[in-house]
Structure 1
């Protein structure tokens, strides 16, 4: 007996887990949504810290006190080299350029660009899951899994998704403070 098509799925472990949950109706849609955010956050780890800092600085107007779109586009062109080797990063720069070209040069647009890049990655991986399930199972099962994963992503706006990814990344990077006194231990 097979363990299910998700086992041989050629994606990261978090995406395999998402496919497994979406395939089983015993799991609520909320659990599928949580697994979807975990999967996309694992993919977001490929985006370099320097690229994120550069994009955030551009949308906060650093080095561009006039708020000039031309200067911001030039800064984004320079930041593109920091995205080398990361499709997620390249998409983040692409959507940043689109938002800046539309005149959106405010901090919220940074989170929206990250969210749009995340949604693009999600779509690509959803398509990979669907194609795999069509090959390994039935088309109706593939459509069922795809529908559940898509609905999990549709509950999040681009801004919410981007904010969630960036804030989770910042929380991981912050080092823990070292306790220096005897009274700073675990409360008994």
Structure 2
């Protein structure tokens, strides 16, 4: 017997930890939210998105004011997409969302941050559906629906903009405190 469907989830270990927390009701929604950032940062690191972000920021610039050259920036990002995103689905999502933000009238670092936040949210949604589908195959329908429901709650509460600012270098990196280890009976789930 396995320890749970999260063990055989075909995702990286941080996503398995997120799935485990979403599955176990001993973790409240805030504790499940704590696992989202590391999972997304792991994807970001694995796909070398920092390299992409440096290239994007060189095209977009740091000016927060609208520019008459925005169409040229979008064309440059289109070229960048063809050159840098092959085989990297998160990179493609990031650049697509940034282009979308620039096309809507966003500019500078704000468009980069907003596009990155939307891409991270889409990546989480993709992971959420993969986790729920895996649980539906490997466990019961009720358990899969419960995991999906909890992950929906997490997605509605998680601050993707703060993570995007951190990953794009617009705010300092904050190292999260280690999770509190519950050791006694009085340290159980908050009521």
SS at structure 1 position matched to 2:34: helix
The TM-score, its normalising length taken from structure 1, stands at 0.81
C-alpha distance in structure 1 between counterparts of 2:61 and 2:161, whole Å: 16
Which residue number corresponds to residue 52 of structure 2? 51
After superposition, give the CA deviation of every residue in 1:40-98 in whole Å (9 maximum; x if it has no partner): 11111113333111222333258xx9442211111101221122221101111111111
C-alpha distance in structure 2 between counterparts of 1:66 and 1:113, whole Å: 18
Let me know the Cα RMSD of the aligned residues.
Answer: 2.4
Offset, 1:170: 7.9
Q: Could you say if the C-alpha distance between residues 19 and 158 of structure 1 is closer, same or farther in structure 2, counting changes exceeding 3 Å?
A: closer
Which residue number corresponds to residue 72 of structure 1? 73
Q: Could you say if the C-alpha distance between residues 169 and 50 of structure 1 is closer, same or farther in structure 2, counting changes exceeding 3 Å?
A: farther
Which residue number corresponds to residue 188 of structure 2? none
Q: Could you say if the C-alpha distance between residues 84 and 169 of structure 1 is closer, same or farther in structure 2, counting changes exceeding 3 Å?
A: farther
Aligned residues of 2:166 and 2:173 also touching (Cα < 8 A): no
Residue correspondences, number:
170
Which residue number corresponds to residue 38 of structure 1? 38
Could you list the runs of 4 or more consecutive aligned residues of structure 1 that deviate by over 6 angstroms after TM superposition? none
Structure with larger Rg? 1
The TM-score, its normalising length taken from structure 2, stands at 0.79
Which residue number corresponds to residue 164 of structure 1? 166
C-alpha distance in structure 2 between counterparts of 1:66 and 1:124, whole Å: 34
Q: Could you tell me which runs of 5 or more consecutive residues in structure 1 were left unpaired when the two chains were aligned.
A: 173-188
